[in-house]
Chain A
Amino acid sequence: MSDGGAFSNSDGGGSVSNSGGSNSGGSVTGALAADRVSFAYPAPRFRGGVHGTRHDGTLHNGTLHNVSLHLAPSSSTALVGSSGSGKSTLVRILLALAKPSAGTVALGAREVRPGLARSLRWYRQAVQYIPQNPAGSLDPRMTVSQLLGEPLRQLRVAGNHRALVGEALERVEVPAGLMERRPGELSGGQNQRVAIARALAVQPAYLLADEPVSGLDLPLRDTVLSLLSSLVREEGLGLLLVTHDLGTAARMCGTTSVMAHGRIVEHGPTHRVLDSPGSPEAAALVQASAALHFPPAVPAGAAP
């Protein structure tokens, strides 16, 4: 199952060095892999509930069936699929926020499961996350430097935190002069970049990004995506980009996985998935995406 040949130093011990202020790529321990993961929300107690819908409005009909996904350093993978296909659930499981009902998640040889913050520090430092609407993930009461310092402190990251914060901000091109501002005093794009910098500050080996640019205008979208691809290219970051925009997937990612109904229905090089989708779900996605971007130009009923 594992294609361990893809990375330089997949050690069997699975020990992640917490010590390193060393650059990502250097301390990478191996693949981040979900192996035959299944997930189901607890069955609703009352007869009415058919779907896994929860009363709190966040609709979770994302159940997973036997899903496997492998991420390697210095590579980026797109995870596409319509809403409700299970992408977000898979990301939650990869982040050890949700416990799979079957299957495992492992970084290198070390298995991961939800637990106390303390016991997951090593993993949180290695795998970071950019949520949908990153700007909303910033506590409005904290300053930029507090926001970026929090994960460094909580994850006990070694090194000079102030320097790490400055470095991360520099990478996303946020002027250091904004360090003591609060999110309310920054523009939307600046906030978005601060949230990305917060994920990068702990120097993770893997980054899971859930529609990181969906709320941005086009020029800014470009900036953020370029930043992410340069991190993958130059610093050996492993990136999982969750998106339903196939254009972004094509531009950013070498491989693409298509999810539908809680399964990975297709997996392969992005260009092949897009040009000749092998499953009806992938075909529907490609077609819908094309129709969205060029409504008049695409002849109706163009079959792959």
Chain B
Amino acid sequence: MPGGTAFVKVTVSRVLALVALVVLIGMMPWLSGRGAEYTILRARYSDREPTPEALAAVRAELGLEQGPLPLFLSWIRGVFAGDLGTSWISNTPVAPGIVSALSVSVTLMAFALAAAAIIALLLCTPAVMDGLRQRRRPASGALSAALTSLPEFLLAAMLLVAGAIWLRWFPPFGWKGPEYAVLPALSLGIPAGGLIGLLASDAIRAGFAEQWVATWRMSGAGPVRLTAAVLRRALPAVLPQIGLVLIGLTGGAVAVEKVYAIPGLGRALLGAASAQDIPTLQAGMLALMGLALLVGTLTTAARYLLIGPAVRFGTLPLAEPPRPGNRRQLALPAAAGVTLLLIVGAGLLREPFTSDHARLAAPGWSLPFGADASGRDLLARVGHGAVGTLGTALVVVLACLVVGIAVGLFPLAATGPLEVANAAPPILAGLVVAALSGPSAHGAAVAVAAVSWAPLAAHTAALAQEARAQPYVQILPVLGVGRARIMFRYVLPAVAWPLLRHAMLRLPGVALALAALGFLGLGPQQPTPEWGLILAEGIGYVERAPWAVLAPASALVLASVVAVGLAGAGHGARVTAVNSAGAVPLPGTDPVPAQERVQAPAGAR
């Protein structure tokens, strides 16, 4: 448990991180810089020339002259007075639109939660049955891993094709009745429910494996009582992760609302970001932040209710999940990886930019994946897209490694930023960056990097703590070795290799996040072959030419399978690369290495 100073440090760090986030949101108009003026001039006064005078007039009108601090202060005063500002594009108050969009999104999330709850329940049932029948077997996790593997934007696209176009069971677009919510709710709920089920069933198996269960059983506790007790023991450990999954839904909702044309907050934000309507984006971000805080508070409160005051002292040992050490689980990811490499290799030899083929030409011998709407070779585009996406992902991962190590060496002070980065979905970061600097490959990379360093920092903190506790490091001061040398000559080399491995395992997950941004139009622009972008282009033609969706989707599915497989192979990092929620343990002040207890950021509460 944090002693005095540690507790203060963590709390201060958290408060500062939240304040920094609010300040960042408040200063967005200033941060958006000159680009914003042109956008607004075009949007509002399309008849005017972009002369310096016209631009200056726009600046004055928006109050950009005031400088960052007054701008922020007038914004925050407005927020407290209930005035969220005026849209730069439509010149109408932002608040009513945001409120109605928020209510749509919250309804959608409620549906998604119901779907997730059913899926999680189904996944946990075998764990409970095994526990009651006293069968001990390692969690197979294959089903939940499969459910978790697809990012929401891809799942949404695939369900749209299957459920609305082929089967015609559900309406494809709009938001007019409950039947419109089924497919979107499934797109959001399947990955979330899969992840929650995975975490919870592991924790339940660990709970049933504990000694006290046998004692209870012998003293005649019935199955219902026993199950209730095990759930009470197991769930608190996974509640923080479940909270992160729920917060992650807000990111997934952006993609899902775009695919199904749902007038929710996500779509409103996406529209605001691409039109550089900063006030709308500010209001939406503020709403999402409030939502995230609410979820965080609720999960923390639930933990208190379940555990009682013991949670505060950190004295309650948390159930350790049995580690599945099944090598066969690597067969599928390996096969997927090889297939992906073959596709990419074949695609790289072909020409991705020229329109040599008939529009939407069907797949054939000379054109294995068919052609897209511009008559370009889809195999070539998928192959070249892999290089672009994975190359960017590699840069992002290395940047995250550097930041993660730097931050992880000072874990207490970094708790707040780390939690924020960990909870923030990459898509939301992408929205902010795209709104500020326009959509671009660089912007997408920056956005993904900005939220992806947290797991590496947490791992660094855990490893560094472990390394510092080694007797051969503890003795160094006696040998006259100074602090800096201890850090760079002893601690860093000890943590570098495992961290590099961890970073590489996150590569496919980061690539998927980049693809999600590309899909939403927040990443590289036409005609760059980028997986998400190719998928977004194809989705408009899905009825006439399903292969336009199938080609990029299959590449993404293969990458997802590899991502989940690698994450599972990583040391307990299984949960991390999977979902946009990026559920990872945070470095608490308790010394149990964070990676060893995926379930339990107890000391950090």
Count residues of B near A (Cβ-Cβ below 8 Å): 31
Across the two chains, which residue of chain B brings its CB closest to A117?
Answer: B482
In terms of DSSP, what is the predominant structure of the interface of chain B? helix
For this complex, 16 residue pairs linking A to B, each with C-beta atoms less than 8 Å apart, are A42-B3, A45-B7, A55-B1, A55-B314, A55-B603, A56-B591, A116-B482, A117-B483, A118-B482, A125-B480, A129-B475, A131-B475, A139-B490, A141-B493, A151-B481, A154-B481
A46/B490 contact (C-beta < 8 A), A124-B479, A151-B480 known: no
Q: Is A158 an interface residue (CB 8 A)?
A: no
Contact B472 A44 (CB under 8 A): no
Across the two chains, which residue of chain B brings its CB closest to A133?
Answer: B471
Q: Is B4 an interface residue (CB 8 A)?
A: yes
In terms of DSSP, what is the predominant structure of the interface of chain A? loop
Q: Is B469 an interface residue (CB 8 A)?
A: yes
Q: Is A276 an interface residue (CB 8 A)?
A: no
Q: Is A95 an interface residue (CB 8 A)?
A: yes
Across the two chains, which residue of chain A brings its CB closest to B477?
Answer: A97
From residue A204, how far is it (CB to closest CB) to chain B in Å? 10
Contact A120 B480 (CB under 8 A): yes
Q: Is B359 an interface residue (CB 8 A)?
A: no
Q: Within B478-507, which residues are at the interface with A (CB < 8 Å)?
A: 478-483, 485, 490, 493-494
- In this complex, the member of A42, A117, A129 whose beta carbon has the largest number of chain B beta carbons within 10 angstroms is A117
Contact A117 B477 (CB under 8 A): yes
Contact A124 B480 (CB under 8 A): yes
Nearest 5 pairs of A and B residues by beta carbon: A117-B482, A154-B480, A151-B479, A155-B480, A136-B471
In Å, the complex CA distance between A254 and B312 comes to 51
Q: Is B326 an interface residue (CB 8 A)?
A: no
Residue from A45, A139, A198 in contact with B2 in the complex, judged by beta carbons closer than 8 Å: A45
Across the two chains, which residue of chain B brings its CB closest to A48?
Answer: B313
Across the two chains, which residue of chain A brings its CB closest to B8?
Answer: A45
- In this complex, the member of B469, B472, B494 whose beta carbon has the largest number of chain A beta carbons within 10 angstroms is B472
In Å, the complex CA distance between A235 and B21 comes to 65
From residue B522, how far is it (CB to closest CB) to chain A in Å? 44
In Å, the complex CA distance between A45 and B474 comes to 25
A140/B482 contact (C-beta < 8 A), A45-B3, A57-B591, A117-B477 known: no
Across the two chains, which residue of chain B brings its CB closest to A95?
Answer: B478
Contact B2 A117 (CB under 8 A): no
Contact A117 B3 (CB under 8 A): no
Q: Is A138 an interface residue (CB 8 A)?
A: yes
Note all chain B residues with C-beta closer than 8 A to A22. Answer: none
Contact B480 A117 (CB under 8 A): yes
Count residues of A near B (Cβ-Cβ below 8 Å): 32
Across the two chains, which residue of chain A brings its CB closest to B484?
Answer: A117
In Å, the complex CA distance between A137 and B475 comes to 7
A137/B313 contact (C-beta < 8 A), A117-B482, A150-B481, A151-B479 known: no
Note all chain B residues with C-beta closer than 8 A to A138. Answer: 472
Note all chain A residues with C-beta closer than 8 A to B480. Answer: 117, 120-121, 124-125, 151, 154-155
A154/B472 contact (C-beta < 8 A), A45-B7, A198-B479 known: no
Q: Within A122-153, which residues are at the interface with B (CB < 8 Å)?
A: 124-125, 128-129, 131, 133, 136-141, 150-151
Q: Is B125 an interface residue (CB 8 A)?
A: no
What 4 additional pairs, Cβ within 8 angstroms, besides A48-B315, A141-B493, A154-B482? Answer: A44-B3, A45-B1, A56-B469, A129-B478
In Å, the complex CA distance between A133 and B2 comes to 29
Residue from B1, B3, B479, B483 in contact with A150 in the complex, judged by beta carbons closer than 8 Å: B479
In Å, the complex CA distance between A45 and B1 comes to 9
In Å, the complex CA distance between A128 and B479 comes to 8
Q: Is B590 an interface residue (CB 8 A)?
A: yes
Interface flags for A102-125 (1: CB within 8 Å of B; 0: not) read 000000000000001110110011
Note all chain A residues with C-beta closer than 8 A to B479. Answer: 124, 150-151, 154-155, 198
Across the two chains, which residue of chain B brings its CB closest to A58?
Answer: B469
Across the two chains, which residue of chain A brings its CB closest to B483?
Answer: A117
Note all chain A residues with C-beta closer than 8 A to B490. Answer: 139
Across the two chains, which residue of chain B brings its CB closest to A121?
Answer: B480
In Å, the complex CA distance between A55 and B465 comes to 13
In Å, the complex CA distance between A121 and B470 comes to 23
In Å, the complex CA distance between A118 and B480 comes to 8
Note all chain A residues with C-beta closer than 8 A to B7. Answer: 45
In Å, the complex CA distance between A56 and B3 comes to 12
Note all chain A residues with C-beta closer than 8 A to B590. Answer: 55
Interface flags for B570-605 (1: CB within 8 Å of A; 0: not) read 000000000000000000011100000000000100
